[in-house]
Chains A and B, each alone.
Chain A
Amino acid sequence: METDALIVGAGVAGLWSAWELALHGATATIVEAAPYPGGHVARFCCKATGRCQKCGACLLEDVLRKVRGSDRITTLLGSTVLEASDTDRGFDLTLLCRPPRIFPDRCDGCGACTDVCPVPGALVQSPFDRRMVLDQQRCLRFQGGECRACEEACTRGAVNLDMPAQKIPVSASAVVLAAGFRPFDPLEKPRLGYGRVPGVVTAAELDELIRTDKWFPGAGASRTRSVAFIQCVGSRDAKIGRNYCSRVCCGYALRLARLLRSRYPDIEPTMFYMDIQSFERDFEARLGEAAREARLIRSMPAEIRTGSDGRPEVVYEGMDEKRVAEPYDMVVLSVGISPGQSLGNLCSTFGIDLNSDGFLGPDGEAVTTSQDGLFVAGAVQAPRSIEDSVSHAIKAAAAADRYLRRMANREKQ
């Protein structure tokens, strides 16, 4: 198989660079490890409160619509790059392509398979059409096991675990790495109580619950009223090697707070923060409003523990260095953007280095790497918002297009 550009990752950044390259007349092949496209944004909800809050999440659906309609773009789901070598004409790669295990035209999303699957997260509902998809990096059968529970449970014959994975050789003139990030794992900060104190969730989890219409404040005495957002979880924390601001958390937390309030006016959000970053063109002019939308406390909690009434309790240093313990109905950890887990692999496959924050490729906002014809786009290179990932992807596609034309000219001569 031949393609002008091979793109690793079908998050907003990868999809957008493919679309831009296609507009330039190039062909693009996207390799996506997950069984559905979209990356993290595919799990985010719309935060509109009657009025759009400009979170940018729906840009994903926009670009998916474009990519699906383009005959210059091929998307390979459930696939990864096994090997890559550079030649004088670009890259020779070997892809591992896993066939979809669940036929989309047969699955109606009934969920019978999830009920029997022993591995949480191996069978998930596609964020776009309610059908089930199988994550082959989790499924026991593809880790050397023998399980066939889902195949047996499906009454519509939609599951097929036997089709073999294929190794496909591809030659590509340019490669764009858009493998994204990993949300900070709050277990790395055990004092924040995640996984231990009931009522402590990550913002990513809350986002997804709202997207799928599964978050409700409850009723009666257990109704959720007070919600604390803890900022900078895994950001601006030199002790754990996160010497950067994740650039998106103040924005998504304040938007989530506004969304919750607009749906349930009796919800009272509190935000624990260091500094509030602006995230909208006119945010600074309206910083005063933010203070009315949420109670703002400039302090980083020392600990989150289970209070005597079973609710999570946030312990922090208040005014005059006094220790305060406040109970909340729900505590949301605003987890930051950490370097993706496959970066080590990508470094060795493509022969490039991590930058000073542990992300892939150069420092700053650049899109080129130490390898000719190899580009980076989106949150794989630095923490970025959706809009900034799109801008970065457009820039990467522009650089890749320039490179492709240079190669084509050279060939002509």
Chain B
Amino acid sequence: MKTPVEQPIPLGGAAPPEERNLRKVLVLGGDRVGLELAERLAAEGFEVVLLGQAQNGSGTGGVTFVPHGRLSEVRGFLGGFDVTLSAQNGRIRERIGHIIAAAPAEVAPKFSAYGLSRTDGALALSEFPEWIARSDPSTSRDGKWFHAAFLCGLEAGSHPAVFSRVLDAVEQLGQLQNVQTYVFTRHLKVAGADLERRYRESRERGTLYFKFDEQGCAFEQTPEGVKMVFSDPLLGREMELSPNLLVVDEDLLPPASLEPLLRAIPASPAGSPFLQPESTRFCGVETAKAGIYAVGPSRGVFAPDLIVGDVEAVVAALRKPLSEPAPWTGLSAPEVDPEKCTMCLTCVRICPHGAMGFRDRALADPFSCVRCGICAAECPMKAIVLLGGVEGNETKAQVDRDLARVSAPGKIVAFLCSRSATDALESAGIASDHLSVVKVPCAGTVSTSHILTALREGARGVLVAGCFKGNCASVYGTALASERVAEITRVLGSAGIDPARVQYAPVASNTPGTLARAVRELEESLV
């Protein structure tokens, strides 16, 4: 996790836009998918700027092609991104409503994983369609069999999308006379539509599959070709094969063009190549920042039929009427008190959703903010409040109000995350006389001063319960909460107060025992 200090100010001085143009879309493309997406959006009446692709054929109304354009910087918010593109004729600045990363996967042939180099007889999988278009292996060797061997995850892993392409090639060769095909692998990746059936059919039609466990296959590459030496994993027999054609599989990696977008989404996990945080909660095409979307390889989806689904999903996402996220929290976006805000911009740096901007003071964008409350907890001036709350009290921040209402003396005050621990409480059946509950939108909402207030009011113990590491919907709310708890316990310890009185516990909404156990352990440590 990046702490606020290490993190550069993500959006460089942007303020939430006063007017939003939601009809203008930037698409980072590069293959059929980008083009199809741009055309679909244009047909829906969007004005599209498409990068990475030359105009093809008739051209489409509504799409501006910037074939050699690269995205270099993004600032701003949904409906009002200021993007800088570097194109052949210099820099272009555009004001854009939505940005979609739909570039194709980087395809990296695995020659080096096998100690091979590319020759006429040893090709990468992507080269096969072109090769077969200009060769006819069945007639070129009058009567002799043509041997084609495919490597598929024999080293360094594989993927159903890769196996599917190997099957394409094997099936194509299967149409020809006198061609024997072989597949060398460790784990066949058949977890995709129709792959198991196609695998079986290819085997029944004569393709030989060799599946290795520990030992693999040795390659001897000479100018004449490649010799494969291995022991048959089923029969244990030593074998040699000098295929006429060896096809080497490839790694599918996220596109390389994501860097400026990763910078624009503060919650992008450090070092992750994907646009979405690792939490399963990002399971659609949305990223942690409103208005930026990931399609296909940008979010780790590589199978063509699934990428088609992403295209549908993102077109639909753009069609949705503008609405503030998370209406169920009942909170409005953070209000920043201009008297208190000193423009330290802690909130701008810390907001995992890139929802905070500033003008003469910090300003939240209501359409990007998910009401996690992390900014309010981190603001050193206590200048930020989230208004509203379950009972529509419009004057006080919900957490402070609820905290003021709980009866603390002799009880355990439990701050429960609304995305995990409150569900767990419902099904855990914990007797309510044990706990005084304060529901919080995210564990990251709970500030050190909330915890100290609870202790001051006479709480026997304080439990902060949030999601598991890696599952926080505000990405690092969980980490912030546990860091704050650790900090408080250090302070308590040095002040001679039992540090065990304050604890952080990860809790699962669907496994109430996780909460029950945390409460029990806290109670036991108090006696």
Contact = CB atoms under 8 A, between A and B. Distances in A.
Interface of A: 20, 23-25, 44-46, 48, 50-52, 54-62, 65-66, 68-69, 109, 127-130, 210-213, 236, 238, 243-245, 247, 250, 274-279, 281, 283-285, 287, 298, 320, 356, 363-365, 382, 387-388, 390-392, 394-395, 397-399, 401-402
B423 A61 contact: yes
Given A54-B279, A401-B316, 5 more contacts: A52-B470, A59-B283, A243-B197, A278-B157, A365-B308
A130 B424 CA distance: 11
Nearest to B517: A213
Contact of A365 (B189, B309, B427, B509): B309
Nearest to B514: A46
Contact of A394 (B316, B420, B513): B316
A279 B321 CA distance: 34
Which of B278, B306, B312, B516 has the largest number of chain A CB atoms within 10 A?
B312
Interface string B312-354: 1101100111010001100000000000000000000000000
B468 interface: yes
Interface residues of B, number: 66
B281 A46 contact: no
Interface in B232-287: 236, 274, 278-281, 283-284
A287 B189 CA distance: 13
B469 A52 contact: yes
Contact of A245 (B196, B213, B426, B513): B196
Given A50-B469, A276-B187, A398-B316, A128 B427 contact: yes
B505 to A, nearest CB: 11
B60 interface: no
B427 to A, nearest CB: 6
Contacts of A25: 321
Contacts of A243: 196-197, 200
A394 B510 contact: no
Interface of B: 153, 156-160, 187-197, 200, 211, 213, 236, 274, 278-281, 283-284, 300, 305-306, 308-310, 312-313, 315-316, 319-321, 323, 327-328, 418-420, 423, 426-427, 429, 467-471, 473, 506, 508-514, 516
Contacts of A62: 281, 419, 473, 509
Contact of B508 (A58, A274, A392): A58
A281 B516 CA distance: 32
A145 to B, nearest CB: 31
B305 A365 contact: yes
Q: Which 10 A-B pairs have the closest CB atoms?
A: A284-B157, A46-B508, A398-B316, A213-B513, A69-B328, A52-B471, A61-B509, A52-B470, A48-B468, A277-B191
A284 B281 contact: no
Interface SS majority for chain B: loop
B329 to A, nearest CB: 9
Contacts of B278: 54, 281
B429 A277 contact: no
Nearest to B281: A62
A368 to B, nearest CB: 11
B187 A277 contact: yes
Contacts of A23: 320, 323
A401 to B, nearest CB: 6
Contacts of A387: 280, 283
Nearest to A245: B190
B471 A130 contact: no
Contacts of B510: 44-46, 57-58, 60-61, 127, 211
Given A56-B283, A278-B189, A398-B312, A51 B508 contact: no
A56 B280 contact: yes
B320 to A, nearest CB: 5
Contacts of B321: 24-25
A24 B316 contact: yes
B195 A245 contact: yes
A211 B418 CA distance: 19
